[in-house]
Structure 1
């Protein structure tokens, strides 16, 4: 959002290193500009990586165990299988990729980042890593580039305005000051003072930017005096040993001192947010204990003006969002801890995001489900922070159960099953007492386990959930556990047992007026009855599910019943109708970036296309599905019931085309992005269809 100043030498060095070395770490003190340099370098080398450059921001992540799942989430790799670690899923996906990973802010997860980088570089020869960290990772083969402060002129040497302005620190100060006060420029009257400011701040970009913004209200001589006061205080107190960190600390201290008492309180309280927040969240979390809710907007606006809370740009989000730089957030965290209000503020943070996920849960299978999904995606770091509080603060584990279980549909549709299970496992262990929250968490965990093909855990949790539901008289949990047992039977190919369980669950959910439970049961019954050879009954279930989605305005949720209906039509021999249904449902997969649904649609369309005699096109579709399956961490055609169809299709295409043509077409499809795969599946083909009479 602001210009990139200087760093030509460091940029050129880093670009050369990234092109030559597998792992490059940019090191340096806080605020020196490691992240900005890494992004600059990544942009310059992007063309060298056919599979892209991926930025993984780690500042808001506090759990080591979520490092690999977070990286997988950034890259759109949805671990549906669950039998392997997130690291194994990543390794499998990346083994033939040529891409650059930018791991930003590794210092607080140093050991985990080192293990992850080392393992991925070992198994994926086409992957390179560019890391930023205040400390080296310590991985074999790591190349280091220390990011120095910006160049500052020597005040002892004779200076002209032109020679002073050539130095990076002065240029940065001047450009940022001009943003704060249009028309500001370095001249013969202020150049010596500006040089002293930049030297006082040791050329640290973040400190210089904060100081430059003061020209809006102060002349440069007073800015220098303010810095002298704070740096002198730090030198006497010896609070920070590293001089350059003293300079940054002094600048932030001074910025804090220039805030009003209420602005200082809001700065401190806003430090509990992770990954950004909006005004509604600020009003809920930062008000109280001396700050009126109606005053929060003005206080936020004041901190925006002071560049404590930069507003972030997101063209897809109509709501303004704010995000502190990490050094400023950590400073606020210190102030909050010293105030004695940290626990109370984090409790309000928990309450706000508990309200948000509970509201989102009610919006699934409705006209606003896509908007709420996008909201949860944006707020994922804050949800993590909330769950961490619940599972580390004594007496809060039950709230953790409630929040994690309410996110069931989000965990499933975002492909973050593994993370959902991680939080659920911890919360279930910490709060073993019987409760409705525990009952719901048990069936939620069972579903996540089943969808990852972890049958033993899934069935165990279902048994526990059913027993607790009987004990509590919890009818919703009984309905969901019955449904879970039916889905487990289908996954195990026990179709005769699956159908009555699913029918019982459907009736139960209908009695409870639970539309999402009905939706799940109808999709499962469509697939199961089709597999049993009853296409008419399957069609009835599928049409009923589509009617439910239509009545509730839930367009994105139509993708599953449309695919299930297509599968039923395919089994009955109606390939034309099966194709139409898939084409109707494919665009909806983009609404949630649902890779599992997309893979099923592409896979089934490949079977249909092969049966129509379009073998090259079918091979490309299989290749596209193969790539998507790999991002889900699932078997190459989903649940084992579908394996024979996949193998039959692949065998017939290879027989028709020959090994070389099949491989070429298949590899062509593997290079499609998800959007390209959808476009290819939707377009009308001009390939000639040859069918024997």
Structure 2
């Protein structure tokens, strides 16, 4: 009586399975649409079964002994004088090419399995589709898990109204809403509410249909608000369907009744998790008080079989997830048991310990595994921090602040910088005691503030952290405070002060044997020396960082070392080496969702492309970068001194392409997804041949920065004016000029000006063919 929405892939897959196997069982949570899907497939393949397609609805069958009798009624067999109902079924189907649908087998699973196996053995041309919340477990059975309808991609780019309306879950809601409100449509005004309703209902078709019916009396806003108590709100459906499909609670009650008592207990306890869980977490949090730790694995398997827990494959591990509707039902049962507070405490303490273990593995071969694990458990980490924040006790406040600080490198990856700073700031308001937890959290929050471009707040937090560390003798904290203070100096253009701070931080980290701090200081020294034109020291610092990383099989910080060495290689004019170095860093930063690292790598690859004359590639990368920097909060966060390279590259590309072509290429980059941008950056050649080859220059003894400064000297600019033009410290400009005089063997600025003029004349002569 209603339209069938979506499921094209599932229909095709079931048809394929049915061609290979004589029994296909569709499993899935209640209300997910198994019956409608089986009926749809039957309608499409009916012609292949000349002896008919027969549907046996078993949901209302209370007595398993009546199963065979029910099937004889469905097949319209006449009463016989002898033999059992099973014999009559076997005799009738023995030579029939028919399709039998056994709908809702879960409450009489054993009887359905026995009968199906008997019939398939006696009737070689018979095919069976079973729908059940768990498999029948007989020979030859093929199973397919029916998942909820697709939802808009979480965290993806916003869809247009038309595209959103075509997403299956939204389309079902709209079509069912039109049945009660003929003028209903997705608009710019209601799109967010429609999407949130479908998402909160997990894309479960029955829940969506029950919600849509409520629009007879409620606005979209009130409907969305009412989903906080979804079991009360979605309590009236069609009178023509079985009772368990008339309300959302009845649907989930049906699943609950199918579980054993220990499974129900685990279901309730697992509801304390947010987003998902793994077996180790289930054993740690859910065992005890009626569940032995060694039994958790079997209970988890049972709930997966009954479609209460969804099994999800991740690289190297399997995780489990409760749909939000199923989770809320379990949470209600947990609250009724009086054990909710105890489970929340176990949950938060488990993830506090997990955060500490991850921090202990912040450097070395296991680091990537731990960062990936934290990313998968982000929702649980957030729930644990919220639990600590809700408890006002001083011990809980310190534990929460310590946990937020332990997650520093997790906040740095993905797009969690803002959230990480919020948790740290919140914890700092409750932990005023000037101890190590506060000092450590302050420099953590300062680093995230630097990434956000909030330097005023960063300076204030670093000053307080330094004061506490000096008072308490916290040398490790002081080394990090000095490192971040160097980043502030670098942003302000005072590279000389920044270099001294990085060197001081490096010494402090070496004394504390803090390897991750050493590598971070070395990487920043490499960038600083490169920016000042001191290639020899830049390369030495970068290579030392690589040596430390390689000795410990460290990957993430090594990626940054490769990136900064790539900047120096580019500055020296070695385009291929620079590109390969930066791409190595990008291959690590991308899978980690390290948006800062990805952004820095794409920036450098864009500069490299313009140096090779590939201006269109540069602009596309800039377009892709726009979304990344917008998500991070500021361009080149913490490395603003490199902004001049961006501006120069942008100006060159704009001049080479012209405004219309520049805008077109930029738009193409903006439209790339992050995955497409990474593929484009890594797989496309970074250094294609320039359209027109420039005349070769004679090798210069000067670096790129020194050549630039020598040209400004030739223009007659003073040291102060050069420093202002390049946004560097005056003593930095003076140091560059001293290097230039030394390299060229000169004693005066006038000699530099003459040399620059000779170089330009020689170049112009080679360009027009008059030179040697």
TM-score after normalising by structure 2: 0.60
Instruction: Please name the residue that 2:87 is paired with.
Output: none
CA apart distance, 1:255: 4.7
Deviation, 1:559, is 2.2
Counterpart Cα distance in 2 of 1:103 and 1:427 = 42
- Give 1:291's aligned residue: 291
- Distance verdict in 2 for CA 1:97–1:488, change over 3 Å: farther
How far 1:475 moved relative to its partner? 2.2
Alignment partner, residue 659 of structure 1: 659
Partner of 2:540: 540
> Pairwise mapping of residues 179-198 of structure 1 onto structure 2 (< 5 A)?
none
Alignment partner of 1:501 is 2:501: yes
Q: 1:69-468, aligned counterparts within 5 Å? A: 74-75=155-156, 100=164, 121=188, 130-133=194-197, 147-148=209-210, 207=244, 244-245=246-247, 248-250=248-250, 252-253=252-253, 255-256=255-256, 259-308=259-308, 310-314=309-313, 316-395=314-393, 396-468=396-468
| Distance in 2 separating the partners of 1:149 and 1:481 | 53
Q: Report deviation, 1:99.
A: 6.3
Contact 1:612/1:691, CA 8 A, preserved across alignment: no
Mapped pair 1:691 → 2:686: no
Query: What RMSD in Å do the two structures reach over aligned CA positions?
Result: 3.9
> Who is 1:570 aligned against?
570
Change beyond 3 A, Cα 1:408–1:638: closer
2:615 counterpart of 1:553: no
Q: Distance in 2 between matches of 1:103 and 1:383?
A: 31
Q: Classify the secondary structure of the residue corresponding to 1:488.
A: helix
Confirm or deny: 8 A CA contact 1:616 1:665 kept in the other structure.
yes
Provide the residue aligned with 1:55 in structure 2.
153
Q: What's the CA shift for 1:678?
A: 3.6
Change (3 A) 1:552 1:440: same
How far has the Cα of 1:319 moved from its partner? 2.6
Deviation of 1:540 (Å): 1.1
**What SS does the aligned partner of 1:382 have?**
helix
Q: Deviations over 1:359-378 (max 9, x none)?
A: 22222332222222221111
**CA offset at residue 286 of structure 1?**
0.8
Give CA-to-partner distance per residue, 1:598-635, whole Å, 9 cap, x none.
22222222223323333333333333434443443323
Gaps of 5+ in 2: 8-28, 37-149, 171-186, 202-206, 214-236, 696-766, 768-772
Taking the aligned partners of 1:200 and 1:287, their CA distance within structure 2 comes to 41
C-alpha distance in 1 between matches for 2:161 and 2:571: 36
SS at match of 1:8: coil
Q: Distance in 2 between matches of 1:687 and 1:456?
A: 43
| Aligned pairs, number | 512
Change (3 A) 1:201 1:265: farther
Q: Hey, what's the Cα distance between the residues in 2 that align with 1:419 and 1:521?
A: 25
* Distance apart, 1:439 and its partner CA: 2.2
| Aligned residue in 2 for 1:477 | 477
Query: Partner of 2:82 in structure 1?
Result: none
- Contact conserved, 2:334 with 2:340, CA < 8 A, in 1? yes
Distance 1:471-1:203 versus aligned 2 partners, 3 A rule = farther
SS in 1 for 2:413: helix
Call closer, same or farther: CA 1:529–1:339 in 2, change over 3 Å: same
Distance across 2 between alignment mates of 1:563 and 1:670: 23
* 2:195 counterpart SS class: strand
CA distance in 2 between counterparts of 1:571 and 1:668 reads: 28
Inter-partner Cα distance in structure 2 for 1:394 and 1:638: 35
CA shift at 1:297, angstroms?
Answer: 1.9
Q: CA–CA distance in 1 between the matches of 2:341 and 2:681? A: 52
Shift in Å, 1:478? 1.5
In the alignment, is the contact (CA less than 8 A) between 1:637 and 1:643 conserved in 2?
no
CA distance in 2, matches of 1:428, 1:636: 27
Name the SS of the counterpart of 1:131 in structure 2.
helix
Distance in structure 1 (CA, Å) of the matches to 2:654 and 2:473: 56
Query: What does residue range 596-675 of structure 1 map to in structure 2 within 5 Å?
Result: 596-635=596-635, 639-675=639-675
Contact persistence 1:32–1:149 (CA under 8 A): no
Distance 1:614 1:633 in 2: 28
Q: CA 1:254–1:317 in 2, change beyond 3 Å: closer, same or farther?
A: same
CA contact (8 A) 1:559 1:588 kept: yes
Q: CA deviation at 1:11?
A: 6.9
Are residues 616 and 98 of structure 1, via their aligned partners in 2, closer, same or farther at CA, if it must alter by over 3 Å? Answer: farther
Q: Is the 8 A contact 1:149 1:203 kept in 2?
A: no
Indicate how the Cα distance of structure 1 residues 505 and 98 shifts in structure 2: closer, same or farther if over 3 A, else same: farther
Q: Cα deviation per residue 1:320-369 (whole Å; 9 max; x = unaligned)?
A: 32222323322322232232322221111112111222222222332222
Q: Is the 2:151–2:198 contact (alpha carbons within 8 Å) kept by the matching residues of 1?
A: no
Contact 1:55 1:104 in 2 (8 A): no
Question: For the structure 1 residues 53 and 656, does the alpha-carbon distance in structure 2 shift closer, same or farther, using more than 3 Å as the test?
Answer: farther
- Whether the aligned pair in 1 keeps the contact of 2:451 and 2:634 (CA below 8 Å) is no
Instruction: Determine the C-alpha separation between the residues in 1 that align with 2:605 and 2:429.
Output: 43
Instruction: Specify the structure having the higher radius of gyration (Cα).
Output: 2
CA change 1:432–1:576 in 2 (3 A) is same
Deviation at 1:453, TM superposition (A): 0.8
Residues 429-459 of structure 1: CA deviation (Å, up to 9, x unaligned): 1222233222221111111111111111111
Could you tell me how far apart the structure 2 residues matched to 1:249 and 1:98 are?
33
Q: Separation in 1 of the partners of 2:378 and 2:199? A: 27
Determine the C-alpha separation between the residues in 2 that align with 1:389 and 1:136: 22
Contact 1:486 1:498 in 2 (8 A): yes
DSSP-derived class of the 1:288 partner:
coil
Query: What is the TM-score when the length of structure 1 is the normalising length?
Result: 0.66
2:646 & 2:441 partners in 1: Cα distance?
35
Q: Deviations over 1:187-239 (max 9, x none)?
A: xxxxxxxxxxx9889558xx45xxxxxxxxxxxxxxxxxxxxxxxxxxxxxxx
Distance of aligned partners of 1:261 and 1:134 in 2 relative to their CA distance in 1, 3 Å threshold: same
Is the 8 Å Cα contact of residues 520 and 557 (structure 2) preserved in structure 1?
Answer: no
3-state DSSP of counterpart to 1:613: coil
**1:193 corresponds to which residue?**
none
Q: What is the deviation of 1:565? A: 1.4
Contact 2:388/2:400 (<8 A) preserved: yes
Query: Is residue 502–residue 525 contact of structure 1 (8 Å, CA) maintained in 2?
Result: yes
Give the conservation status (yes or no) of the 8 Å contact 1:439–1:469: yes
CA distance in 2, matches of 1:424, 1:558: 27
| Pair 1:450–1:104, CA change in 2 (3 A) | farther
Separation (CA, whole Å) in 2 of partners of 1:653 and 1:546: 33
